[in-house]
Structure 1
């Protein structure tokens, strides 16, 4: 019996060593990879590539011809919603796309794909690949807030040795609330417990979880916050999470709470967060994501003394491309065997 060929096209920059690992998954896999058609990476896991890169008209035609031969894509074309919309319309053979982002639902929604396209085309996210770096960044935010590193940096800049020293807070024995106990949230909980914290949190489907003191849905979030010393948001941006962290939620926190956001900026009402920072309800905020990105120059968050601004980079690590390739190779094996792909983008809620 002749094996059915499965064509996999690499649509975004990827190191040759990882391309070879994809080729090795199964003899029936043909990898379509022309590196000269892909922009060079500016840093590890730069899926967009150098924005100065331009294909010639002939290269542009070859790029889309290559992608239109594939049943499977590694990455959205040009790493963009527009590229996703174009390939969905032009490639009738396409069955599955592996997205690079954990929160790929936003790009899928922005592509404007109709219900029929969303029904036919399976799109998997890289959820979980970024769990450890995001958990470590969250731990950084907690430690920064508890150990007053913003104050220390200001004193150092001013060459100030305070006559009266200010004590710091112990992380061990404190309580953390995590919104979104998925893979990122659970990895954050694991790291927090290693620091001696107890953990509660929210989950869309309420269930008992090992190591988590209390689990509720987002409707019950306000009831968890009075006990929280720190709060980490990992939630995606959806209609149901839009500005979940509003004035009511921030007012439910006890004074001095440390707040970290590694989910999506749309989950936070930034005006309400600034009010909470100015009142001391939130003592420190470590933010990797924002309602508008790049963060506008006029945003007060840039200059607030108790805010750390990270340019949506906390998930990046030198290991990312290798980890995504690991995930893709596992998924490709499932796909070839006719199994159910994990981490599919929900075509209704887009997460």
Structure 2
């Protein structure tokens, strides 16, 4: 009888492979897979779409998928549920990187650094239209109060904003001055100076940021998306920025990636585009393996996951 396989879609250092072998000696580690071995995969790190039809067939041995990302909207969640496949994500792994990315954007906007970069390209020294802002006494709205949202709130607080959170129920969360339920988002939005999306993509959050949303923002406000691209309706944010419905936006994720050269977004000077890099994390392997090894121990002992287990019905 063939040995069951842990198949990783990316390599990891030998020190981690050794720890995996110690925890799960009955499983074989693979970073490449032969066709004859696919049905022997029991655990998968990442997801290989080319293998999906076989992995999700009636004869599959797949029991657990460990996502390498925090978001799992790209995975076949309904099929996982039908096959009783466990799913865990990498939530928390990117908290520092994404939080620092967001703060970098805010400070470069508020201190005129982004505008200065644009002026440098034009060899323009003085810009009388430039205005400077301070984070003190601003209202910062973080939509999504999970691990990333909490870390961002913690890092932002010393700069002096009032940090307000939006989550499903409005439950209190550490580092936030106040939290509101999603149902009150439209009530809170018009008084916010900085609006940041960190939500996963679900049916409820797809196209959440649309014409109605943008037209309700303060004209002086800024909007930052480091959540999912499909949460923002591209044509609506183009219209809103073109017509100055709000002042500035920064997008790290997009409805279509890579962003096509033909996109109207490229030409907007009040928009900062970054190529889905907010989650790029130094020491990724160490941070990821803290999650995976803990779950692997729990899985081998109890056939359950101890951290970052995803509710397949909710999608997070």
TM over 0.5: yes
Q: Which moved more, 1:85-94 or 1:174-183?
A: 85-94
Q: Does 2:154 correspond to 1:209?
A: no
Partners of 1:163 and 1:98 in 2: CA distance: 50
Residue 107 of structure 2: SS of its match in structure 1?
Answer: helix
Is the counterpart of residue 232 in structure 1 residue 196 in structure 2? yes
| Equivalent residues in 2 for 1:36-51, closer than 5 Å | 37=32
Say which SS state the counterpart of residue 34 (structure 2) adopts.
helix
Match of 1:57 in 2: none
**Distance 1:85-1:206 versus aligned 2 partners, 3 A rule:** farther
Task: Say if 2:88 and 2:305, in contact at 8 Å, map to a contact too.
Answer: no
State the Cα distance separating 1:289 from its structure 2 match.
Answer: 0.6
Q: Which runs of 5+ in 1 are unaligned?
A: 38-61
- Structure 1's consecutive aligned runs of 4 or more residues displaced over 4 angstroms after TM superposition are none
The equivalent of 2:64 in structure 1 is 96
Paired positions, count:
313
- State the distance in 2 between where 1:282 and 1:17 align: 50
Match of 1:83?
51
Structure 2 counterparts to residues 1-351 of structure 1, below 5 A: 7-24=5-22, 26=23, 28-33=25-30, 37=32, 62-77=33-48, 80=49, 82-89=50-57, 92-109=60-77, 113=79, 115-117=81-83, 120-162=84-126, 164=128, 166-338=130-302, 339-351=304-316
Q: Normalising by the residue count of structure 1, what TM-score does the alignment of the two structures yield?
A: 0.81
Q: CA deviation at 1:115?
A: 4.9
SS at match of 1:334: helix
Change (3 A) 1:91 1:99: farther
Shift of 1:297: 1.6
* 3-state DSSP of counterpart to 2:190: helix
Change (3 A) 1:15 1:65: farther
CA apart distance, 1:27: 5.9
For the 8 Å contact 1:286–1:309, the answer to whether it is kept is yes
Q: Normalising to structure 2: TM-score of the pair? A: 0.89
- 2:242 and 2:268 in contact (8 A); partners too: no
Contact 2:229 2:255 survives alignment (8 Å): yes
What CA distance in whole angstroms lies between the structure 2 residues aligned with 1:69 and 1:163? 64
Once the two structures are TM-superposed, the CA of residue 148 in structure 1 deviates from its matched residue by 2.6
Aligned to 1:53: none
Contact 1:175 1:198 in 2 (8 A): yes
Q: Please list every run of 5 or more consecutive structure 2 residues that lacks an aligned counterpart in the other structure.
A: none
Shift in CA distance, 238/163, structure 1 to aligned 2, threshold 3 Å: closer
